[in-house]
Structure 1
Amino acid sequence: MLKYEEIIEYIKNNIKSEKLNTPKKLPSIRSIKELFQCSTGTVLKAYEKLEQDHIIYSVPKSGYYIVDDFHNPNSSKQPMVDFSAVNLNSETFPYKNFQHCLNKSIDLYKEKLFTYSDPRGLKSLIKVLTKHIQNYQIFTKPDNILITSSSQQALNILSIMPFPNCKSNILVEQPTYYGMIKFLELNNIPTLGINRDFNGINLDELEKLFKYGNIKFFYSIPRFHNPTGTSYSKFEKQEIIKLAEKYDVYIVEDDISADLDINKKNDPLYSYDTSSRVIYLKSYSKIIMPGLRVAALILPDLLINNFLEYKKWTDMNSPILSQGALEIYLKNGMFDSHMKQLVSLYSSRINCLKNILLECEYPNIQYNIPESGYFSCIHVNGSVNYDKIITSLYHKNIRIFDTRECFLKEYKCDNYFRITISEVNEKQIKKNIPIILHSIQKNLN
């Protein structure tokens, strides 16, 4: 038996013998590490497996606790309703079609699968992407498109590589995508923040930061922002571009939800750029399947060689098999068919969410529900017991994302609750959103 399996059995046996019982907290990771003479990673692996099996649950900054009825073998625990997930529900994965594309990719690129290839990406995929992204009002040359192993890899490289403006600070919206926050904090990269709420962004504050903040680039999610779900207006986009050109600042535009936008006139920042200031980033993993790990990055000429040097010594090249499969998936029309179904599904869920929220009136709670996309957001006027809300909802088999993770340490805020609709159906939305709102209201100070 492996060490982490021994830990799992130890915890289970102690729960059953009532040495550990609800609501008692599980032993700390440190104490289990010392007891079993193993690494922290081994203990975490055991606890993660117990959590996946719905035997324990974690509370941020508190620890791990036993699920109420695990010790009762006759309990009939309902499955978790997950309002935190961004990835597609497994039922919407295009398995069969994509399997066909993978098989075809192996036939076409079998020789390249066993050798290093161009760090820029598969040339045939880039050619297809050059035409495909015109659907988003993005017109560029193939030489400016690079393929990365996920959008996270692109963000990581951009964050550490030097830029032609010789500046060092990165500016991020507050709140923003937590993966970006985590990388910047872990690598001690100097970072500034600017508030973005349901009303957008303060352009005067942005100008001051661009002028005096030594900003290398501004990381932004203009369309269906994570976590607030808001989108910049055409005016805001044009003003941001003007300021970037005026103060020699680059913009990294993370367009995660481009394919889900039902408003075809909602053009990206990139389409307004006339001075090669915008770096455009688009992931295909979130809309096809998470394991795909393919993203497209459009870079200005001045940044290409430097980026490639960093990428080459990060992973040499992104996996050819995934790139080849995506190329075929785009070329044969399967992608367009998949997106029509997904847009229809997500729009129905968003509309359902909007209707439910409009029916629930709480004076201290505001909502932002976009027309489409993954994200909607609840904002609370006043302070709340955030940990208690997450824990109480978990006991009711409802999982929500800890939106505090989307803030830099100095901007930490407990007023936002991101709600995603990727993993939930309309029936679950109707039943559980009122429960979430009631729990927030109940724990409002």
Structure 2
Amino acid sequence: MERKYEEIINYILGQKSDGHLKPGEKLPSIRALSKTFGCSINSIVKAYSEMEKEHKIYSVPKSGYFLVGTRNLEPNLTEELIDFSSAGPDRWNMPYRDYQHCMNQAIDLYKEEMFQYSEPLGLTSLRLQLSKQLQELQVFASPDRIAVVSGSQQALDILVSLAFPNEKEEICVEQPTHFSFIDSIRSRGLNAIGIEMTKDGINLTELEKIFKQRKIKFFYTVSRFQNPTGYSYTNQEKKKIVELAQKYHVYIIEDDYMGDLDTRRKADPMFAYDPSGRVIYTKSFSKVLLPGLRLGAVVLPDSLLGAFTQAKFAADVHTPVITQGALEIYLQSGMYNAHIQGLRKVYSEKGKILKQAFHKYLPRNVSYTGAESGFYSTIQLPSNIKAAHLVNSLKKKNVLIQDATGMYLPLYKKENVIRLSVSQVEDKKIEEGIQKLGEEIALLLGKEKEFIN
């Protein structure tokens, strides 16, 4: 026999399925729901508590309970959506309640600072905590060299515009790379040189040729779980890239936004091979915490600190104090490290499922990259199939994928590459989605063959 609190849970989930309750919408108050069901308040509290444990709802002090979930892109979808296009963190494993406590404490701790402007490079106490935390990633830097930024993208956008000590102006960048960095380059009309990123990484001989022949200010690289390919450099590759940068007086901007998820115990960042300032290290907390926080950090050389501080002040004066304070408390309490341990297991498992599904369902004449992290991977289609066609045909089958065409500089553009992320896809849905993807690719290949004949 169904217990009363289970009946209440099923009622709320039914309201969500029917569309009467939307993600982010406030649920009925405990007292109101107890009247509706003619039951004790304890039954409602029990139901809400169980749903909160399963991350189906979340609570806001003095405001009530709210529904967690995803929005369908079209209201007439009758089947469940499988979304490989969204690349945010797994919402079911995000520390909503823990971080909420940290936010509340930060408001009490920094209430006086809210009435005045803060330091452009971030709270001194947070920078000290970041200095300690980064040591876990083999990044040893004094707090004075660390800047708190509104997501690592802000640091990248500022660095793109700054003059560097090597007095060079061109940028070398992996191809493909993420949309926002492409936008930063193009919006300023800068000259960028691409180097192809494949399932086997980059051609280091080609990289040396670029460093030698061009006036490269810096090489921008995502050293682990590259967006969009998912590729992670080996320690040997990282060391060689740093040696080339030293030889040809090139800076490296190492975007290690997901370094925390690396399960290889002896994997080091490029920064570890030259902490003097040749390697500028950036990190974001968006992919492992909550994207809406927009918090990141960058480790700068002394030669760029003044110019970066000035540019940061011009951009936003300073990063919001309360979110900085909450991150400081979250790191200092040990909650962050515990959270990361859990995430590593989650994404590692997703990566295994994805890789198995690729082997099982993808046609032989397509290649894929990544899949190890469960966050990013790419599929390169035969040249006669455009990614946009596959995106549109799969959308009709409630499977969403990302056309990677916009992740290339114009001179290096490919229109037959798609990006996938399983970060927000339930484990049980990954294989189903890849099966549909494989079947659709095979169907398009068959149609193309028919057309050619």
Cα distance in 2 for residues equivalent to 1:372 and 1:141: 30
Say if 1:82 and 1:370 are closer, same or farther in 2 by CA, change over 3 A: closer
What is the alpha-carbon distance in structure 2 between the residues aligned to residue 328 and residue 373 of structure 1?
28
Identical-pair percentage? 42
The TM-score normalised by the length of structure 1 is 0.81
Amino acid at match of 1:187: R
RMSD: 1.6
TM-fit CA distance, 1:93 = 2.2
User: Are 1:285 and 2:286 counterparts?
Assistant: yes
Q: TM-score, normalised by structure 2?
A: 0.80
SS of alignment partner, residue 201 of structure 1: coil
Cross-structure match for 1:438: 439
Q: Which residue in 2 is equivalent to 1:261?
A: 262
Shift of 1:355: 1.4
> Which residue pairs with 1:9 in the alignment?
none
| Corresponding position of 1:209 | 210
Q: Name the structure 2 match of 1:163.
A: 164
Deviation at 1:373, TM superposition (A): 5.0
Whole-angstrom distance in 1 between the partners of 2:288 and 2:72: 27
Deviation at 1:91, TM superposition (A): 2.3
Alpha-carbon distance in structure 2 between the residues aligned to 1:275 and 1:126: 18
Dislocated runs of 4+, deviation >3 Å = 52-55
Describe how 1:129-140 pairs up with structure 2 within 5 A. 129-140=130-141
Q: Using the alignment, how far apart are the partners of 1:256 and 1:76 within structure 2?
A: 34
Q: Would the aligned equivalents of 1:161 and 1:306 in 2 still touch at CA under 8 Å?
A: yes
3-state DSSP of counterpart to 1:288: coil
* Structure 1 counterpart of 2:73, one-letter code: H
Deviations 1:117-145, CA, capped at 9 Å, x for gaps: 11110111111111111111111111111
C-alpha separation in 2, matches of 1:344 and 1:235: 26
Q: Which letter does structure 1 place at the counterpart of 2:292?
A: G
The Cα of 1:369 is off from its aligned counterpart by 3.6
With over 3 angstroms needed to count, the CA separation of the structure-2 counterparts of 1:280 and 1:400, relative to structure 1, is same
Measure, in 1, the Cα distance between the counterparts of 2:312 and 2:374.
30
Q: Distance in 2 between matches of 1:215 and 1:326?
A: 35
Whichever residue aligns with residue 79 of structure 2, its letter is Q
Q: How far is 1:254 from its partner?
A: 0.4
Q: CA deviation at 1:53?
A: 6.1
User: Aligned partners of 2:160 and 2:122: how far apart in 1?
Assistant: 20
Contact 2:361–2:434 at 8 Å: present in 1 too?
Answer: no
- Secondary structure of 1:200's partner? coil
Q: Is 1:428 the counterpart of 2:447 in the alignment?
A: no
* Alignment check: 8 A CA contact 2:349 2:374 kept: no
Alignment correspondent of 2:73: 54
Q: Deviations over 1:201-235 (max 9, x none)?
A: 11121112112211111100111111111111222
Structure 2 unaligned regions, length at least 5: 1-70, 449-453
Q: Deviations over 1:416-444 (max 9, x none)?
A: 22211111011110111011122223324
Residue 296 of structure 1 aligns with which residue?
Answer: 297
Query: What residue is the counterpart of 1:243 in the other structure?
Result: 244
SS of the equivalent of 1:322 reads helix
Pair 1:359–1:373, CA change in 2 (3 A): closer
- What is the CA distance between 1:370 and its match in structure 2? 4.2
Q: Which amino acid in 2 is paired with 1:115?
A: Q
Match of 2:331 in 1: 330
Question: Residue type matched to 1:97 in 2?
Answer: D
Letter matched to residue 117 of structure 1:
S
Quick one: distance in 1 between partners of 2:225 and 2:89?
16
| Counterpart-to-counterpart distance in 2, 1:226 and 1:270 | 19
Q: One-letter code of the match for 2:429?
A: Q
Whole-angstrom distance in 2 between the partners of 1:437 and 1:53? 23
Letter aligned with residue 248 of structure 2? Y
Displacement of 1:107 in angstroms is 0.6
